[in-house]
Amino acid sequence: MDIKRAFNLPICLCLIVEQEKLSHIMDNKKQSLIYLAAASHSGSTMLAMLLGAHPDLCSVGELKAGHLGDKNSYLCSCKSLLEECEFWRGVSEKMASRGQSFCIFDAGTDIRSNASPYVLFLLKPLVRRRSVEWMRDVLLNISPSWRKQLARLQRRNADYVRAVAEQAGADAVVDSSKTGIRLKYLLKNKDLDIKVVWLVRDGRGVSLAYKNPSEYADAKDPEFRGGGAEKTQEQGRNVAAGAHEWLRCNQETEAVLATMTEDKWLKVHYEDLCDNTESELNRIFEFIGVNPGKKRMDFKAVEHHVLGNGMRFDSSSLITLDDRWKTELTQVELNEFAQAAGGYNESVGYSSNERRL
């Protein structure tokens, strides 16, 4: 027998066994996910892009990937047609290697994907206190289709987060899906290690954005509004309705955070992020566990493949506080806001004495 071959064979076998052990350990290791929880129009697109510019993190927008609009015109933030973007092709390939057929226009990662009318009805109310959530889960678990669907969704979301991290070469992925109900179920995902950044903005600023989203909460260039696609624009709503939406979204986030340990979530104010960007980013990166020294203040210059709000197309990395509510909300509207959500606005740190300039 060839002595050399006789010795090489066991070495090769050992290497194969070690490699299999290693890939088993890698698959079993929880994937880090940073979840941005916020009401709409609170600055989550800006924060997601600031975080995603860190070399150890990746942000692609909302991983729940709602309706994106027309395939033939929807643009990735790299300004390629989404269908033609190499990054997203790579993500689809990595999903396929995990046995998941995947197309970003029909991602199937939303908690409501393929849900029956019964399940949709139960998923509709925002997250509330523990006893109510216990009842929701009892009623959902009666449905065999929900039990199967939830297991499939958890697996698909974990595979998706891993595929994005792998494609970007990042340690952690930022999910700016914002909603509390998605977060509630992701926290039960055994393959994900989740930290939450709760982004809060003065409710009066958010209410102004709700009043006219394309004017106050979209790309500066009208060509890129609504995702750069022929897509229905978000409808405006009056200040009282916007205030109520803002209030309920933040209360929902608080209900989910109450189920977590305090080291797993961090509250950030949009206004602090705009006024003291570097120090706030340092605080967030320390919380996430990545080196703050690697942050990029020229965050728009970094390669991004973000979907969602048109602000992702704005080219300037200059951050300025948007407090147009101080001059553009009328006294009547300010009173409407105060009546709907003034007390809560104060409880999260905003003075009601600040009147129009």
Q: How far is the CB of 307 from Zn ion (least distance, A)?
A: 9
Q: Decide if 29 contacts 161 (C-beta within 8 A).
A: no
**Residues forming beta bridges with residue 174, ordered by sequence position:** 34, 59
Q: What is the 3-state secondary structure (H, E, C) of 103-142?
A: CHHHCCCCCCCCCCHHHHHHHCCCCCCHHHHHHHHHHHHC
Q: How far is the CB of 331 from Zn ion (least distance, A)?
A: 45
Q: What is the 3-state secondary structure (H, E, C) of the chain?
A: CCHHHHHHHHHHHHHHHHHHHHHHHHHHCCEEEEEEEECCCCCHHHHHHHHHCCCCEEECCCCCCCCCCCCCCCECCCCCEHHHCHHHHHHHHHHHHCCCCCCHHHCCCCCCCCCCHHHHHHHCCCCCCHHHHHHHHHHHHCCHHHHHHHHHHHHHHHHHHHHHHHHHCCCEEEEEEECHHHHHHHCCCCCEEEEEEEEECCHHHHHHHHHCHHHHCCCCCHHHHHHHCCCCCCCCCCHHHHHHHHHHHHHHHHHHHCCCCHHHEEEEEHHHHHHCHHHHHHHHHHHHCCCHHHCCCCHHHCCCCCCCCHHHHCCCCCCCCCCCHHHHCCHHHHHHHHHHHHHHHHHCCCCCCCCCC
Looking at beta carbons only, is 87 or 146 nearer to Zn ion? 87
Q: How far is the CB of 284 from Zn ion (least distance, A)?
A: 24
Q: How far is the CB of 324 from Zn ion (least distance, A)?
A: 31
Looking at beta carbons only, is 182 or 305 nearer to Zn ion? 305
Q: How far is the CB of 107 from Zn ion (least distance, A)?
A: 15
Looking at beta carbons only, is 265 or 313 nearer to Zn ion? 313
Looking at beta carbons only, is 82 or 161 nearer to Zn ion? 82
Looking at beta carbons only, is 80 or 100 nearer to Zn ion? 80
Residue 210: CB atoms within 10 Å:
26
Looking at beta carbons only, is 47 or 91 nearer to Zn ion? 91
- Footprint on this chain of Zn ion (rule: CB under 5 A): 76, 78, 85, 87, 305
**Gyration radius of the chain's alpha carbons:** 22
Looking at beta carbons only, is 89 or 130 nearer to Zn ion? 89
Q: How far is the CB of 40 from Zn ion (least distance, A)?
A: 23
Looking at beta carbons only, is 18 or 84 nearer to Zn ion? 84
Q: How far is the CB of 156 from Zn ion (least distance, A)?
A: 21
Q: How far is the CB of 61 from Zn ion (least distance, A)?
A: 11
Q: How far is the CB of 63 from Zn ion (least distance, A)?
A: 16
Looking at beta carbons only, is 61 or 342 nearer to Zn ion? 61
